[in-house]
Structure 1
Amino acid sequence: MSFNDDARLNPSRVRDTRGSRRGTKIAVGGGSILLLIVASLLGINPGLLEGLGIGTTDTAPSGRATDTPAISECATGADANERADCRILATAQSLDAFWVPYLEGYGQTVQLPGIEIFSDAVDTACGTASSQVGPFYCPSDTTAYFDTGFFTELRDNYGAEGGPLAEEYVVAHEYGHHIQNTIGTLKYSRQGGTGPTSGSVRVELQADCFAGLWAAHAARTADSSGQIFLEPFTEADLRSALSAAAAVGDDRIQEAATGRVSPEGWTHGSAAQRQAWFLEGYRNGDINRCNTLAAEDLDNP
């Protein structure tokens, strides 16, 4: 899905802290890193990683690399089509333009979430997180955090096809957790432990459905001047989003990390479930079809 070149971006919408603090690296081996990424991937905040016996080490201050452009340079949709950080900004603005009026129709006021782009590590109200944990939403400071390097990981190490809509899906999923925090469903992630029907899985699948819901309306959301943010997306765009959803399914991750699938340990849902609920939101464009908390069969929305 491409942004319209003339869409106007507001760089102040995103906080850019790349290279602004000492990096904190999680001192674990490759397999553990994979599990940690998945533990927090697309939804679990880093505060939940405390007590796992995982050490951290401080590195020297990285500083902003001279070849790393700042978010302040993101001004138009054309920039979003060229750069991942600008794409996060543009996607956040498109999500704002969709969710605020959409939930107003249900009598619900949305306070916009914070959006922060970081590198190496970031301090949040949920704790300090390394970039190795992937993107996440912290309900304590109502902010979604992204390291653009994750998009490369998603493609190169998790088998996702890549592409703009795959990245936009990630942003929309994290934004979906803020919507859940707003409407009161995020708290159910703490109920039911782990497993294929746990509260955590149901909440994550609802965020996938919310991402699909945004996608259903995305080509009609406009900037402050009335310029539509996004062009209608193609079948190839949709496949890229679905490949990203599948790549972070619990079953795919478990098999890659341990060679077997253990549904009792699921926290986010299977590859097929994540795809199915994204499509449920996309095909119906109705938030009422995203009630994963009451769904009897999470495999078949």
Structure 2
Amino acid sequence: MRFNPKADISGGRVTDVRGGGGARAGGMGNIPIGGITGGGIGTTIIVLIFFVIVQFGGGGASGGGGPVETTDRYEQCQTGADANESVDCARRAVAVSLENYWAQELPQQTGIQFRPTEIFTFSGATTTGCGAASADVGPFYCPTDERIYLDTTFFDDVLEGQLGGQGGDFVEPYVIGHEYGHHIQNLMGTMGKVRTQQGPTSDSVRLELQADCYAGMWTRGATGTTDSKGIKIFAAIDQGDIDEALDAAKTVGDDRIQQAGGGDVNKEQWTHGSSAERMRWFTTGYNATSIEDCDTFSASSL
């Protein structure tokens, strides 16, 4: 993955926040990741009330918290050259690309008006429209405030350290692309289709696999995205990047997480889909010719 050094990434909607402790969110801290709310990328935490939280990490956020303040973490991130040298700046470049891609594709393919989301990074704990969140939660999308929240230690500590993923510089773009996919689902009203929370063909699993599919769509289209001046953001995304995304998808399959936790594979507790399904739907999105190709809710087989 290489960014165009001349690209302007200063408009990337990424903010770093500090503070806002409060109630501890459950989930990732209860390794092995899993449990009845599932674990891994894009968990849908909607057991009794639907619009609570859609997340990568396993537990729900709850409770309140104190005020948050922003930091200057991303102020130096201005160009694609910066993105090639800094993970933080790469995150900002990815945000620009995702916004550019979906601002075109969503209204063009569905007639639905696009509005951007924003990525909030934090360490320790923060407050969200869905309640207080700690580092235990993992990356997630909150439909209440329409923001993506990301503790950046997740990739080294959990995805690689605890689940054994291979890592790589395209893993985080895949994760953010998945969470952005949840935002697109929110704009499309797809979240309102979710009624069943667990099981191999549950609505929760279909929602998560669709977000993987949307991440695949963006990955294929990312090299065509541009900044506000029409300069391409990415210089290249190669097969190695695709392989890293697929490995991450495999790593956070429900079956893989259950096995990593030392338990048996129990499909009735699935909320995300198997490793094979997550990889398959990312690939489906990557090869898609229409957003309709990602209609997991109509698919007879996942």
* Band of TM-score, shorter chain: 0.7 to 0.9
Between 192-201 and 75-84, the greater mean CA deviation after superposition: 75-84
Query: In 2, are the aligned partners of 1:103 and 1:110 still within 8 Å (CA)?
Result: yes
Query: In 1, are the aligned partners of 2:28 and 2:136 still within 8 Å (CA)?
Result: no
Between 144-153 and 173-182, the greater mean CA deviation after superposition: 144-153
* Equivalent residues, number: 289
Aligned to 1:137: 141
Aligned to 1:100: 103
Cα drift, residue 53 of structure 1? 11
Unaligned runs of at least 5 residues, structure 1: none
Q: Where does structure 1 differ by over 4 angstroms across 4 or more consecutive aligned residues?
A: 23-33, 45-49, 52-56, 61-64
Aligned to 1:167: 172
- CA–CA distance in 1 between the matches of 2:120 and 2:97? 16
Between 27-36 and 167-176, the greater mean CA deviation after superposition: 27-36
Aligned to 1:20: 19
Cα drift, residue 32 of structure 1? 4.2
Cα drift, residue 62 of structure 1? 12
Cα drift, residue 140 of structure 1? 0.5
Q: TM-score, normalised by structure 2?
A: 0.86
The structure, 1 or 2, with the larger RCO (C-alpha pairs under 8 Å, 6+ apart) is 2
- CA–CA distance in 1 between the matches of 2:28 and 2:211? 30
**Superposed counterparts of 1:66-85, under 5 Å:** 70-85=73-88
Distance 1:83 1:148, change over 3 A: farther
SS of the residue 2:154 aligns to: helix
Cα drift, residue 39 of structure 1? 3.4
Task: Give the residue type in structure 2 aligned to 1:70.
Answer: R
- CA–CA distance in 2 between the matches of 1:80 and 1:179? 25
SS of the residue 2:136 aligns to: helix
Cα drift, residue 11 of structure 1? 5.4
2:232 counterpart (228, 232, 253): 228
1:284 counterpart (263, 284, 288): 288
1:240 counterpart (240, 244, 247): 244
- 1:213 equivalent to 2:217? Answer yes
Distance 1:79 1:157, change over 3 A: farther
Distance 1:73 1:45, change over 3 A: farther
Task: Give the residue type in structure 1 aligned to 2:34.
Answer: L
Aligned to 1:44: 44
Query: In 2, are the aligned partners of 1:99 and 1:110 still within 8 Å (CA)?
Result: yes
Distance 1:53 1:183, change over 3 A: closer
Cα drift, residue 271 of structure 1? 0.4
Unaligned runs of at least 5 residues, structure 2: 47-51
1:158-197, Cα deviation, whole Å (9 max, x unpaired): 22221222110000000000000011112223x1230000
Structure 1 or 2: more helix by fraction:
1
Alignment RMSD (CA, Å): 3.0
Between 272-281 and 31-40, the greater mean CA deviation after superposition: 31-40
Task: Give the residue type in structure 1 aligned to 2:33.
Answer: L
1:86-110, Cα deviation, whole Å (9 max, x unpaired): 2222111101111111122132211
